Amino acid sequence: MTTQRTYVVTGAASGIGKASKELLEAAGNTVIGVDLRDTDINVDLTTADGRATMVAQATELSGGRVDAVLAIAGLSAPIPATAGVNYFGAIATLEGLRPLLAKSDAPRAATVASMASLHPHDDALLEAFIAGDEPKAIARAQELADLGPEVGYMIYSTSKQALARWVRRTAPTAEWAGAGIPLNAIAPGVILTPMTAELVATEEGRKQLNEQVPMPLNGPAAAIVPAELLVWLTSEQNSHLCGQVIFVDGGYDAVTRGESTW
Ligand SMILES: NC(=O)c1ccc[n+]([C@@H]2O[C@H](COP(=O)([O-])OP(=O)(O)OC[C@H]3O[C@@H](n4cnc5c(N)ncnc54)[C@H](O)[C@@H]3O)[C@@H](O)[C@H]2O)c1
């Protein structure tokens, strides 16, 4: 039987986060949105202050118990803030709210990596992410950004690879699996949200995207598609998925990696 649950959803003001919040609310759940603006908790998840305020306000608004956390907020721009929010912001959300999850009878957590995790990455930035060294990661991201948008794109792809790796590394540990909290990620292909709106606005952009990210099954997807998967991953029904990075990408992963699984 499904019961009403309390969720924290970051990135709740737009795209996949907004679609997830709406789906959860339509099913009768309580959702505490987090975003830069236009939602319940308005903070900047690239800053220590913003992260601390998010945890304090989520604690207050939830009464100290949260059933699920969906860390969705992200940027794709070739700028250092992308490293800050996509990796350190997502982890600060998941780790910061873990004590509230621990109070739930059926706690769940999920975040959003990307098909971009399969794209070329920057080794130095990946190392800084894995070491948890935010100042070093931001400094390296600035160096990449300074080399122009093509190189700067690696801030995004590297942040998503690092996040996927963090999920795989962290999910089976005592703090998560050992505490009965499934932690997983999704890796969307091209999703039609404000993040991709400019890219898909022109015939040329769509053609380029289709060459870079072929999606033989139904092409680019609406925000509700990954949202449905996030909602299931953070539902009571998900009792045994642990550290999975699930590609919801119209086949891009299968096309790119072929038969190899690992
Ligand atoms: N759209 C795609 O094709 C696609 C593909 C793969 C992964 N993703 C990932 O899905 C997630 C959601 O993206 P979307 O497509 O819905 O984009 P979106 O731009 O519609 O929504 C992202 C939201 O995150 C918020 N955000 C950004 N920086 C923030 C910060 N510092 N603090 C707080 N909130 C912040 C934005 O304000 C925005 O509301 C992102 O992590 C993105 O990288 C998107």
- The full set of domain ranges for the chain reads 6-247
pLDDT of amino acid 260: 81
Give the closest residue to 77 by CA, choosing from 189, 154, 23.
154
**Cβ(76) to ligand 1 under 6 A?**
yes
The Å distance, Cα 72 to ligand 1 centre, comes to 6
Mutation choice for ligand 1 from 75, 200, 210, CB with most ligand atoms inside 8 A: 75
Contacts of residue 59, defined as CB under 8 A and 6 or more positions apart, other chains included, come to 100
**Cβ(46) to ligand 1 under 6 A?**
yes
pLDDT of amino acid 1: 45
Percent of the chain past pLDDT 70, that is, above it, reads 99
Residue 81 CA, closest ligand 1 atom number: 31
Q: What is the pLDDT of residues 228-255, one digit of tens each?
A: 999 999 999 999 999 999 999 999 999 9
**Cβ(226) to ligand 1 under 6 A?**
no
Catalytic residues: 156
pLDDT of amino acid 261: 72
Least confident range from 83-92, 130-139, 204-213, 217-226: namely 204-213
Q: Give this prediction's pTM.
A: 0.98
Contacts of residue 90, defined as CB under 8 A and 6 or more positions apart, other chains included, come to 10, 45, 71, 73, 74, 111, 112, 163
The Å distance, Cα 194 to ligand 1 centre, comes to 8
- The topology under which CATH files domain 6-247 is Rossmann fold (3.40.50)
Average of per-residue pLDDT values in the chain:
97
pLDDT of amino acid 131: 98
Crossing angle of helices 149-170 and 123-130, rounded to 10°: 30
The protein residue with its alpha carbon nearest to ligand 1, atom 36, reads 11
Residue type at 231 in one-letter notation: V
The stretch 99-115 carries a mean pLDDT of 98
Q: Does position 262 have pLDDT exceeding 70, yes or no? A: no
The Å distance, Cα 35 to ligand 1 centre, comes to 10
The Å distance, Cα 1 to ligand 1 centre, comes to 32
| Residues 118, 122, 127, 128, Cα dihedral to 10° | -110
